[in-house]
């Protein structure tokens, strides 16, 4: 390892250092605000070191031993994940301050005001776990060896189990939140373990074929032979199944809604963005490194998974009344769209499409969860009657808090792929990639899925635009209101949703990014290229 390689490694080293430092500080001094500050500072320092590395990579990526490769592409992902983690930690801060992180669903149980302060809340550990998981993600996207891939994936995943089940150690005994969080964490653990088993078996088969675990070496060995060797193909399919779990592609998606719902919303945002993004990034890298795009079987499996995800995800989201579950299902569909571009990943255009869509997905999803999380915090503070996670809570939002509603509308429009948002350019990429490759069946699934998707995204927007003072005639034939719905806005306070300044800033930044990259996509495309 030479000095250059060591320097290329600085982001990972910095982040590890930050984690150890934070762990030590937390051991002696528990202060929520300080922890958040240190987390953000640590992320900022890591961002700085990442930016410092990038001039090194003007020409070639740097291989650090045989295990890691740092390229400009991986630096882009570093930045993306670091910034997402910063957003998540700010959301988490608000969530903990209001107690929504500890008790996502406040199902009417009596809660004493001082409850959280008499018992230890361990909220500082959340940031620690978040950073550890982030480290896993960063290691994962720069892996060039199956060992690092596995290590990164597991480091990311292990921290996630704890993040997801975080309310379980705090909430009142036998409360619904506790059960939900436990269930979410447990389901994720069990299914993740199963996925890991598939993944490992796949890796073992690939190793059995060539006796190599390094991507480049496998590619060299594969290029020397002719045709696709049996074990490599089967190994890749097994690997894909493991990956499909992590990406929650249908029919390996079962954990998604329960985990999204049960976990504290900031953790959900993290699962939906960074964890999935890292897996997609490494899959793209792995496939192009070992030349898997030429192999029929894995690609066909991926195509089938994409179609089922697009259709199943959108259909499942259609009737969903819980906003977190809705976003969970819609994320399944979005990863399905992304896979369409992924299948063209051999070409430069496909790679670009995948990365662009991924950025669009992460920015938008993060924004949507930020709105949900901050709204829930407000609802907890204001002690509203109805659950803030139900869609009906957003009824008339446009009139009560126009800025929040506008920003949420932008997120939803972006998810629906309407022009002038980042999501539109993403969708354009997907269509274009599909057209270039001539995947007609996949494209029709994209169109069909997006058409269904429009319905539930627009439904929320329409709900937000509804006037709060309006008398609600919910005649049975009316299309957009389902019969069993709780009668909405009347009981709600007519005041706007008030959000702390830092939360507002997070939303503003995300909305601006969403619009800026939607109107001037060339900037982002240049970065990707």
By CB under 8 A, the residues from 307 to 366 that bind another protein are 312, 315-316, 318-319, 352
DSSP character at residue 64: E
What SS3 state is found at 143? strand
In the complex, minimum distance from the CB of residue 52 to another protein, in angstroms, rounded to a whole number:
27
Pick out residues in 383-442 that bind another protein (CB under 8 A). 413, 416-420, 424-425, 427-429, 431-432, 435-436, 440
Q: Could you tell me which of 299, 382, 313, 290 has the C-alpha nearest to residue 100?
A: 382
What SS3 state is found at 2? coil
Cβ nearer to another protein, comparing 37 with 419? 419
Cβ nearer to another protein, comparing 243 with 507? 243
H-run or E-run covering 47: helix 32-53
**Using the rule CB under 8 A, which residue among 112, 477, 484, 501 binds another protein?**
477
Q: How far is CA 122 from the centre of its chain?
A: 24
**Using the rule CB under 8 A, which residue among 55, 471, 484, 501 binds another protein?**
471
Cβ nearer to another protein, comparing 332 with 510? 332
**Using the rule CB under 8 A, which residue among 5, 23, 182, 525 binds another protein?**
525
Cα gap 47→515, rounded to integer Å:
23
In the complex, minimum distance from the CB of residue 180 to another protein, in angstroms, rounded to a whole number:
11
Packing angle between helix 32-53 and helix 72-98, nearest 10 degrees?
170
Residue 478 as a binder of another protein (CB under 8 A): the answer is: yes
Residue 200 as a binder of another protein (CB under 8 A): the answer is: no
Pick out residues in 205-244 that bind another protein (CB under 8 A). 205, 208-209, 211, 227-231, 233-234, 236-238, 240-241
In the complex, minimum distance from the CB of residue 222 to another protein, in angstroms, rounded to a whole number:
14
**Using the rule CB under 8 A, which residue among 31, 52, 487, 522 binds another protein?**
522
User: Residue 520: which region, alpha, beta or left (left: phi > 0; alpha: psi -120 to 50)?
Assistant: beta
DSSP character at residue 496: P
Under 8 Å between Cβ of 296 and 264 = no
In the complex, minimum distance from the CB of residue 435 to another protein, in angstroms, rounded to a whole number:
5
At residue 352's C-alpha, the angle toward residues 351 and 354, to 5°, is 65
**Using the rule CB under 8 A, which residue among 296, 383, 484, 501 binds another protein?**
296
Under 8 Å between Cβ of 314 and 250 = no
Pick out residues in 502-521 that bind another protein (CB under 8 A). 521
**Count of residues near another protein by CB under 8 A:** 85
Cβ nearer to another protein, comparing 153 with 233? 233
Cα gap 68→240, rounded to integer Å:
21
Pick out residues in 168-187 that bind another protein (CB under 8 A). 187
Cα gap 499→497, rounded to integer Å:
6
Pick out residues in 441-460 that bind another protein (CB under 8 A). 443, 447, 450-452, 454-455, 458-459
287-315 in b/e form (b: 16+ CB < 10 A) is bbbbbbbebebbbebbbebbbbbbbbbbe
**Using the rule CB under 8 A, which residue among 119, 467, 491, 494 binds another protein?**
467
DSSP character at residue 229: -
In the complex, minimum distance from the CB of residue 87 to another protein, in angstroms, rounded to a whole number:
26
């Amino acid at each position: 390892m030479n000095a250059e390689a060591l320097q290329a490694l600085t982001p990972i080293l910095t982040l590890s250092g930050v984690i150890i430092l934070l762990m030590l500080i937390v051991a002696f001094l528990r202060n929520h605000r300080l922890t958040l500050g240190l987390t953000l500072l640590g992320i900022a320092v890591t961002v700085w070191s990442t930016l410092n590395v990038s001039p090194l990579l003007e020409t070639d990526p740097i291989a650090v031993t045989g295990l890691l490769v740092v390229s400009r592409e991986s630096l882009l992902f570093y930045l993306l994940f670091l910034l997402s983690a910063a957003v998540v930690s700010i959301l988490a801060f608000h969530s903990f301050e209001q107690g929504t992180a500890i008790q996502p669903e406040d199902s009417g149980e009596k809660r004493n005001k001082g409850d959280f302060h008499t018992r230890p809340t361990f909220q500082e550990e959340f940031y620690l776990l978040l950073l550890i998981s982030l480290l896993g993600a960063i290691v994962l996207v720069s892996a060039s060896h199956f060992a690092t891939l596995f290590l990164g994936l597991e480091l990311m995943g292990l921290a996630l189990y704890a993040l997801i089940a975080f309310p379980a150690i705090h909430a009142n005994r036998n409360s619904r939140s506790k059960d939900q969080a436990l269930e979410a964490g447990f389901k994720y653990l069990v299914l993740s373990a199963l996925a890991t088993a598939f993944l490992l078996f796949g890796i073992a088969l690939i190793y059995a074929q060539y006796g190599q675990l390094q991507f480049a070496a496998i590619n060299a060995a594969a290029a020397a032979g002719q045709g696709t060797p049996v074990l490599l193909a089967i190994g890749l399919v097994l690997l894909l199944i493991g990956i499909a779990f992590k990406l929650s592609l249908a029919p390996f998606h079962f954990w998604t809604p329960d985990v999204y719902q049960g976990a504290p919303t900031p953790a959900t945002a993290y699962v939906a963005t960074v964890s999935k993004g890292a897996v997609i990034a490494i899959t793209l890298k792995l496939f192009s490194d070992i030349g898997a795009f030429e192999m029929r079987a894995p690609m066909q499996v991926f195509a089938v998974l994409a179609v089922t995800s697009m259709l199943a995800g959108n259909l499942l989201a259609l009737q969903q009344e819980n906003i977190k579950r809705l976003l969970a299902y819609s994320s399944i569909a979005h990863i399905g769209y992304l896979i369409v571009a992924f299948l063209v990943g051999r070409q430069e255009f496909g790679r670009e499409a995948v990365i662009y869509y991924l950025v669009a997905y992460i920015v938008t999803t993060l924004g949507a969860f930020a709105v949900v999380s901050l709204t829930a915090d407000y609802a907890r503070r204001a002690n509203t009657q109805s659950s803030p996670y139900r869609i009906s809570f957003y009824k008339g939002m446009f009139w009560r808090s126009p800025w929040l509603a506008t920003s949420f509308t932008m997120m939803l429009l972006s998810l629906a792929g309407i022009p002038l948002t980042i999501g539109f350019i993403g969708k354009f990429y997907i269509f274009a990639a599909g057209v270039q490759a001539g995947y007609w069946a996949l494209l029709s699934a994209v169109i069909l899925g997006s058409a269904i998707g429009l319905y539930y995204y627009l439904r929320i927007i329409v709900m937000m635009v509804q006037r709060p003072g309006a008398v609600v005639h919910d005649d049975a034939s009316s299309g957009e209101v389902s019969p069993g719905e709780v009668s909405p806005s009347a009981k709600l306070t007519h005041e706007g949703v008030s959000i702390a300044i830092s939360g507002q800033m997070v939303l503003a930044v995300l909305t601006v990014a969403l619009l800026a990259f939607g109107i001037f996509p060339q900037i982002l495309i240049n970065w990707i290229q």
